[in-house]
Structure 1
Amino acid sequence: VVAGVLVVSIGGFVLAELLDAGPADADSDLFFEDPVADLVVQLLGIAIAIPVVLWGARVIGRRPAGTVSSVVGRLRWGWLGRCAAVGFPLMAVQIGVLIAWTWNDEPVGESGTGFPGWPVFLLSLAVILALVPFQAAAEEYVFRGWLVQVVGRAVRTPWPAVAVASLLFALAHGFGELSGFLLLLYSALWWGWLVIRTGGLEAVIVMHVANNLLAFGLAAGFGELASTETAADAPWQAMVAELVFAPLYCLTVARIAGRRGIERVSP
């Protein structure tokens, strides 16, 4: 953990130095005044949860670290790829629907500074593509991997654990709009069900990565990386869209898993 914190700190300060970015104002929620440097620190700060969780499973839980990933003791990359073929197009459609629906309320980019220019945009995309998959996966390892397994073992059934982990997942994003909290809780419950149904984290990692890549990519393009808003601030339209798209993805993937004989329990 200490090593991870040091890596994040050093990486953030090195990038800040390269970008000539000073620290943010004392009353700011950001670490650095440059949004790209700040994004690196925030993403790495979450991503270090992956080795921490795997270490905890191996050393404290006294079991193979890979059992956090799936019932077969590792990430099933082929299965993850099939989930991506479903999840990425579906997430693109969902975000497109949401943008079209809310365009008259607040057009995309209205609250940002506008296109930052190609050098900054491409640097932002490089950071997003390199780090967001690890950040999104880390949240899944914590909330739908380790936490569900630990609580599930204590109560001898996974479903109370899914409920507890889903609530904590929603709360971890902060307090914003009621619609945002309900969206996070609703999504987390479906994703928790999908983890149990497919015996691993692959399907939910895909959807989380797809969501965050598209969201951060749009933010980078419209100069909104410095925004402190999270999914907890999502409008009611996003909640309504999630009512449809979350079960659509989860039920589709669960059906594919059943047809392909994806393992649901440890061999």
Structure 2
Amino acid sequence: MNYIQQAFKGRNEWYLYLISIFLILFGWQIIGGIPLLITAVLFSDGVGGFTKAAENNFLGIGIDSNLYLFLMILMFIFGLLALIVCIKYIHKRKFTTLVTSRKKIDWKRFWFAFVIWAVIAIIITTVGILMSPEDYVWNFKPVPFFTLLLVSFLFLPFQTSFEELLFRGYLLQGFGVLFKNRWVPLIITSVVFGLLHGANPEVEKLGYISMVFYIGTGLFFGILTLLDEGTELALGFHAANNIIAAVFVTANWTVFQTEALYVDHSEPSVGIEMFLPVFVIYPAVIFFLSKKYGWTNMKDKLFGNITVPVAQENIIDIKGVEENAS
């Protein structure tokens, strides 16, 4: 049974997806946002102060950047918990079926992807610093940096896991059941993933051309998931990407405004680094992984149809007979 077919191990009525999406958004944005809201109010002067806090991303008004990062991640943790509850109690299936088609989660795949992308990200960032050293300022402060390191490694994977399991897991499987194919869910989840990043400050500074990177990255993660029949690789890549982004370089126009090692003071512009990952590095990584894991029948895995497993068809037929008999 392939990855998308794992959804057939539970209930898939359309209204259950609507209920679940509502609960996930409620847990993520409402319940998860309460600690951030309370903290913002405590560090502001009433409603006006809160508005000012929001405009400044809660930084520069007395809130430690590491605390702010943790509170932001906490929102995703509540979203992840809501997703787990929905899978278990609404869709009536095991959480593992959301992660992989294998009998158990393959953590070796996760860590392999994590290390590979961490190395690539560090090399790319280091090359950028060496090529334009005048744009970067060394910002190492022991206590804030090591606190950031701790928060990033312990909690950022929850944020990236929520995004992956929501888009490359829950929605990819759900749309697969709905459209009975693979390529439509891949396109939809990649585009929605990119559009949700449209609120990032990078998009405001660089323009909507930067959506090429976000949608392309979502497409990359989705392709990995379909070809490997599980999200382990995507989970590893995404976690490594965000951790390196948080601890290595920061700027006043990026989503991660942290006590990173370097501060980029250059004027933001669209350059080759925007398109290099999408059109060169991602395809190269897919090719490398296809050789390592022996992926076969790749065309069908990306464009093939989704069918109801035979065992599931028998269950549906039995239910239908019982209902008619009653």
Q: Same fold (TM over 0.5)?
A: yes
Structure 2 gaps, min length 5: 1-22, 257-267, 310-326
The answer to whether residue 60 in structure 2 is matched with residue 26 in structure 1 is no
Cα RMSD for the two superposed structures: 3.4
Alignment of 1:57-206 (within 5 A): 57-72=87-102, 74-100=104-130, 103=132, 107-109=135-137, 115=139, 117-175=141-199, 176=203, 177-206=207-236
**Shift in Å at residue 82 of structure 1?**
2.8
**Shift in Å at residue 84 of structure 1?**
3.0
**Percent sequence identity over aligned pairs:** 19
**Shift in Å at residue 157 of structure 1?**
0.9
Shift in alpha-carbon separation, 1:30–1:241, aligned structure 2, 3 A: same
Instruction: Letter of the 2:111 partner, please give it.
Output: G
Assess if the C-alpha contact under 8 Å between 2:36 and 2:72 holds in 1: no
Range that drifts further, 160-169 or 4-13: 4-13
Deviation track 1:105-147 (CA, whole Å, cap 9, x = no partner) reads: x7234xxxx6263222222222112111111111111111111
Shift in alpha-carbon separation, 1:188–1:10, aligned structure 2, 3 A: closer
TM-score (norm 1): 0.78
Rounded Cα–Cα distance in structure 1 between residues aligned with 2:139 and 2:129: 17
Instruction: Letter of the 1:168 partner, please give it.
Output: V
**Shift in Å at residue 9 of structure 1?**
4.0
**Structure 2 residue corresponding to 1:238, chosen from 273, 292, 298:** 273
Query: 2:239 maps to which residue?
Result: 209
**Shift in Å at residue 13 of structure 1?**
6.0
**Shift in Å at residue 22 of structure 1?**
2.0
Shift in alpha-carbon separation, 1:164–1:234, aligned structure 2, 3 A: farther
**Shift in Å at residue 153 of structure 1?**
0.7
Instruction: Letter of the 1:128 partner, please give it.
Output: S
Assess if the C-alpha contact under 8 Å between 1:87 and 1:249 holds in 2: no
**Shift in Å at residue 65 of structure 1?**
1.7
The structure number with the bigger radius of gyration is 2
**Shift in Å at residue 99 of structure 1?**
4.0
Assess if the C-alpha contact under 8 Å between 2:32 and 2:76 holds in 1: no
Deviation track 1:64-122 (CA, whole Å, cap 9, x = no partner) reads: 22111001254211222233343322232233344445x27x7234xxxx626322222
Rounded Cα–Cα distance in structure 2 between residues aligned with 1:169 and 1:77: 24
Between Structure 1 and Structure 2, how many residues are aligned?
248
Alignment of 1:240-259 (within 5 A): 240-242=275-277, 243-258=279-294
**Shift in Å at residue 150 of structure 1?**
0.6
Deviation track 1:17-69 (CA, whole Å, cap 9, x = no partner) reads: xxxx8247523252464322211111121233222222222222222221110
Rounded Cα–Cα distance in structure 2 between residues aligned with 1:98 and 1:240: 15
Deviation track 1:163-221 (CA, whole Å, cap 9, x = no partner) reads: 011111111112512332101111211221110000111111111111111110024xx
Rounded Cα–Cα distance in structure 1 between residues aligned with 2:111 and 2:64: 34
SS of aligned partner of 1:195: helix
Shift in alpha-carbon separation, 1:135–1:178, aligned structure 2, 3 A: same
Query: 2:10 maps to which residue?
Result: none
Shift in alpha-carbon separation, 1:29–1:158, aligned structure 2, 3 A: farther
Assess if the C-alpha contact under 8 Å between 1:54 and 1:68 holds in 2: no
Rounded Cα–Cα distance in structure 2 between residues aligned with 1:120 and 1:130: 15
Instruction: Letter of the 1:251 partner, please give it.
Output: F
Assess if the C-alpha contact under 8 Å between 1:183 and 1:238 holds in 2: no
Instruction: Letter of the 2:135 partner, please give it.
Output: P
Shift in alpha-carbon separation, 1:69–1:136, aligned structure 2, 3 A: same
Assess if the C-alpha contact under 8 Å between 1:12 and 1:40 holds in 2: no
